[in-house]
């Protein structure tokens, strides 16, 4: 069964996309445990030291996401990729607050490798999630807002078979329905990159994320995959 895929038109437009994908079930989410909180704080300090005075726009992974956003008609300084938003918060405010176990694991790995990491709650997802170009009729509900939005035609979105959008502007903004909260147990996790070393970075990031999930999240990692233009679909055995 296909659980996650890159649409053919998206692959044609962004042939360098690399996506690490994992399906995990039976997780135990909740307040961030002390060990994870300490590890996340240490990673933030390490990331600040590593970046130093380098402008975020000069980090290769963020440069690549800015180009991608521009290509589908979005100003990358108005709508930032999730990883750039995290690193911008860190470099300007000095810290990233704890939210919950799953979100903090994703954020820790995201800033370590400067790649966007998304944790999607599967409870409201119907069928496969496709990353593709919107036609404008899909439905999206932002976090903290009740009103439904519609993406702009040509915008890159994550969308299920019921046309419910779990992320707008590719890796910019996640929906209210898909965000991991304290009752989340089954998730689809994505780690993506478009830069020259994306394959290595995404694989390393996924390795670290799975280690952290095993330590703090419980549950079972059902299956993982590395996607690319030659392998654009995540097919889960026995689903």
pLDDT tens for each residue of 45-62: 999 999 999 999 999 999
Name the DSSP class of 154.
Answer: T
Q: Is residue 71 assigned to a domain?
A: yes
Burial of residue 239 (CB within 10 Å: 0-12, 13-18, 19+) is: exposed
- pTM here is 0.96
- C-alpha span between 107 and 44 (Å, rounded): 10
Q: Is residue 189 assigned to a domain?
A: yes
% of the chain with per-residue pLDDT over 90: 96
62 lies in which domain range?
2-232
Q: Is residue 185 assigned to a domain?
A: yes
Phi-psi region of 9 (alpha: psi -120 to 50; beta: other; left: phi over 0): alpha
Q: Is residue 151 assigned to a domain?
A: yes
Q: Is residue 188 assigned to a domain?
A: yes
Q: What is the pLDDT of residue 239?
A: 54
Q: Is residue 239 assigned to a domain?
A: no
- C-alpha span between 67 and 76 (Å, rounded): 8
Number of folded domains that form the chain = 1
CATH of the domain at 175: 3.50.40.10
Burial of residue 3 (CB within 10 Å: 0-12, 13-18, 19+) is: buried
Q: Is residue 237 assigned to a domain?
A: no
CA–centroid distance for 130 within its chain: 14
pLDDT tens for each residue of 102-122: 999 999 999 999 999 999 999
The mean pLDDT value of the chain amounts to 96
Q: Is residue 56 assigned to a domain?
A: yes
Nearest in space to 171 (alpha carbons), one of 131, 209, 224: 131
pLDDT tens for each residue of 124-165: 999 999 999 999 999 999 988 889 999 999 999 999 999 999
Radius of gyration of the chain (CA): 17
Q: What is the pLDDT of residue 145?
A: 86
Q: Kindly give the pairing relationship between strand 129-133 and strand 2-6.
A: parallel
């Amino acid at each position: 069964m296909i659980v996650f895929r890159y649409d053919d038109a998206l692959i044609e437009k962004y042939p360098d996309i690399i996506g690490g994908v994992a399906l995990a079930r039976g997780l135990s989410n909740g307040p961030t445990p002390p060990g994870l909180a300490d590890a996340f704080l240490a990673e933030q300090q390490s990331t600040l030291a590593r970046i130093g005075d380098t402008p975020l726009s000069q980090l290769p992974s963020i440069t690549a996401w800015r180009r991608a956003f521009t290509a589908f008609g979005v100003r990358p300084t108005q709508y930032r990729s999730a990883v750039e938003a995290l690193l911008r918060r860190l470099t300007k405010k000095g810290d990233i607050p704890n939210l919950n176990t799953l979100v903090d694991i994703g954020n820790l790995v995201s800033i370590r490798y400067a790649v966007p990491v998304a944790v999607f709650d599967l409870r409201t997802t119907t069928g496969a999630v496709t990353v593709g170009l919107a036609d404008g009729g899909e439905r999206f509900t932002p976090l903290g807002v009740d009103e439904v939005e519609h993406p702009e035609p040509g915008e890159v979105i994550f969308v299920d078979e019921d046309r419910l959008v779990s992320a707008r502007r590719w890796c910019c903004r996640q929906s209210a329905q898909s965000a991991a909260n304290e009752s989340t147990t089954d998730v689809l996790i994505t780690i993506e990159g478009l830069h020259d070393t994306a394959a290595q970075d995404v694989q390393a990031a996924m390795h670290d994320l799975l280690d952290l999930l095993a330590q703090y999240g419980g549950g079972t990692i059902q299956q993982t995959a590395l996607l690319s233009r030659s392998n654009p679909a995540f097919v889960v055995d026995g689903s």
